[in-house]
Each structure stands twice: as structure tokens, then as C-alpha cells.
Amino acid sequence: MPDVAEKIALTIVRSLPRGKIAKRQTNELVAIIRPTIEKLIGEPILPQHGETIAASASVADYKIAALFFDRVWSFPGAGSIPDDVVVYGATATEATSRVLSALLRADDDIEPDDVAVVKRTSEFLRNAINDRLGSLDLGPTWNSLSSVARIGRILYLEKGLQITPIYDSGAARDVEYLPGETQAIVAAVSDLKVVDPRSLSWEQVQEFRKDNTAKIKLRRMRRWLDVDMKGSSVAQLTDAIASRLDDYEWSIRKHGLQTLTGTMSELLDPKLLSATSATMAGLAYSEGAIWAALGGAGIMVGRAAVSLVEKMVDLKDRKRDQGAEVAFVHEIKKLAKK
């Protein structure tokens, strides 16, 4: 059975006008093209068991994702993303997309007579992607998904990987997760210090990731809903979150990361919350003091506000079998114009 590289090479050859390959047989051309395709596709880079994975539509947010998650989806060798951060499945869909992207980038550098060939080849590759996708259970919302969400779904279906999309605003997340019939929770911390991706270098990210203590303290703030709230009062909850917030800010200061005021939030599926957070979910849907505090204006922890809001969204064909986190938002507060 031909492998992915051979199939792509064959697709490219078959897209060529017959006159272009009159002097050579198809198999000979495939043999010539295949090594280049193999090099471009590369090998899969898969996470270790238990590692968390994020995907972002913005290369600028890859560094933020690498602070909060163990791995970030990317094509290998793209930009300056370190190899130990990358996750890449080398699935047929990813591979064909990468070759297609390379062809489109080459469009400006080829001879005018070959432009039609590249366009024809690109169309053949798009059809190959669509044929591959047609064999997968993608769900009815596939065509409306962003590239980030599509990558997440493909890698779940083909590699069993759980990928959390990361967005730079709640508005961008809400474009993806439209109103629907599934009960979800938005756990947010607003008006806190968030890392400015514009001033963040990969060298800083790598140094931070080597510091296990700082890394744990930063990531625990993202998952503040994991605080055990069984039998807690609002005051006790406030103290517990304040402790996490202090640790979070300490980790940022220790590594000299530049910050701006912003918001962090998680979109969560309450059915998949951990045992500790399931206790919180039970409290959230009661009429207790904690839900009243979190579900209203939120609990003030220093200058930050912590809130928990119910949201009805369309999650009917979002493929997940573990972990409650559906999406993560790391948003810089926009300054009002004077």
C-alpha cells in the first residue's frame, strides 16, 4: 500500500498536463518527487503520556501556549518554535496541507508558464484533502470550523490526541463556539496581569519551562476551578484563589516576563470536570453563597475578579473523551482611546 508521500507525489504527477510527462513514465516521476515530499512532510512528533497540548491560529500566541501547555501544534521547522514544544501528527491531512502550502508560497517564484501547473496541482491536492476528510466522522459543523479547531479534530480522530484551542479574545472563541443546547461553564479571571506575547522571546519561554516550580504555579492559576470548595465559605474560597494568584504573579516576576492587564478564561464541559471540580459544579448549580458570588459580579481577589458563568453552546460534535477544558482564552485588555 503506498504511503502518504507516495500518494501525494502521485497526485502531483497526475495533475500535470500530459505533454509535460511524455518523456518519462509516471512511476519514474513519482520516484523523483517522493524524497522531496518526504522531507517536507517530516516525521510525526507526538507527546508523552499526560502532556497537555494547545493549538493557536496566531503564531504570536504559540509562545503563550507554550507557557501554559506542554506542547503546541505546529508544522516542524515552522518559524523558531523549539522541537521539544512541537506536536505534529504527520497525518495525511496535515501532510497534504503542508505540501499545498509550500506550492502556494512558491507561486510568486516560478516561471509564468508554470503558474497554471501549480494552480492545477494545488486544486488536485485540495481534492485529495477533501477525499481523505470524507472518510472521517467530522461532524456536521466541520465546514464552519477554524483551522485550529480542524487540526484538533483531525488529531483526535487519527491520533487520539486531546488539543485545546487557544484564543486571544473571548470574542474570537465565541465565533467558534456558537450558541447551542449544551450546558458549559466559563471560568474567568479578569483584570489580572497577563504575559504580553509581543515582548516574549522563545529563550524566555524555554527558561521558564525548565523551572518546574514556576511552571506549576503559573498553570495552577489557569485551572483555579480545581480548588476543592467542598464545605468552603466565600471567604475561604477567596483565600485559596488569592494564594494561587500570588504564586502566579511570583512566577511571572521571577522570570522577568512583561505583563499587561487582561483576562484568562476557560470554556469547560461540566460533564468532564475532575472529581474535585465536580464538587464545584454541584455548588455552581445550587443556590448557595459561592455560586451567588461567582455567578454575579464575581469574587474580588485583590484587583482581579474571579467569575463562573453558565453558557449554552454547541458542543454536539466536539470530539473529547477526557479533560473538561474545551477552549482557553488569554486576552490583553484593550486600552480606551483618548
Predicted pLDDT at 2: 53
With a CB cutoff of 8 Å and minimum separation 6, the contacts of 15 are 117, 120, 121, 123, 124, 125
Mean pLDDT for the chain? Answer: 79
Total number of domains in the chain = 2
Instruction: Give the count of alpha carbons within 13 A of 176, CB side only.
Output: 25
Same domain, 181 and 298: yes
Confidence band of 94 (pLDDT split at 50, 70, 90): confident
Same domain, 303 and 171: yes
Q: Look up the domain containing 235 and give its range.
A: 167-332
pLDDT above 50 (res 286)? no
Is residue 338 a part of any domain in this protein? no
Same domain, 65 and 185: no
Helix (H) / strand (E) element for 260: namely strand 259-268
Instruction: Find where cell 460534535 sits.
Output: 317
Is residue 204 a part of any domain in this protein? yes
Is residue 37 a part of any domain in this protein? yes
DSSP state letters, 297-328: T-EEETTEEEEEEEEEE--TT---SS-SEEEE
Is 323 exposed, middle or buried (CB count within 10 Å of its CB: 0-12, 13-18, 19+)? middle
pLDDT above 70 (res 313)? yes
Same domain, 149 and 206: no
Instruction: Find where cell 523523483 sits.
Output: 32
Same domain, 178 and 323: yes
Same domain, 99 and 242: no
Predicted pLDDT at 337: 44
Same domain, 100 and 194: no
- Structure-derived torsion over alpha carbons of residues 300, 323, 149, 92, reported in degrees to the nearest 10: 160
Of 132, 157, 182, which marks where a domain is finished? 157
Is residue 13 a part of any domain in this protein? yes
Q: What is the mean pLDDT of residues 183-210?
A: 94
Of 104, 136, 157, which marks where a domain is finished? 157
**Residue-wise pLDDT tens digits, 147-192:** 777 788 888 888 889 899 999 999 989 988 888 888 888 999 999 9
What's the chain's Rg over C-alpha atoms? 23
Q: Write down the pTM of the prediction.
A: 0.82
Is residue 114 a part of any domain in this protein? yes
Same domain, 135 and 278: no
Confidence band of 287 (pLDDT split at 50, 70, 90): very low
Same domain, 109 and 222: no
**Residue-wise pLDDT tens digits, 236-250:** 888 989 999 999 999
Same domain, 89 and 229: no
Same domain, 133 and 208: no
Is residue 337 a part of any domain in this protein? no
CB-CB contact of 308 with 185 (8 Å): yes
Same domain, 176 and 302: yes
Task: Give the lowest-confidence range in 5-14, 93-102, 215-224, 312-321.
Answer: 312-321
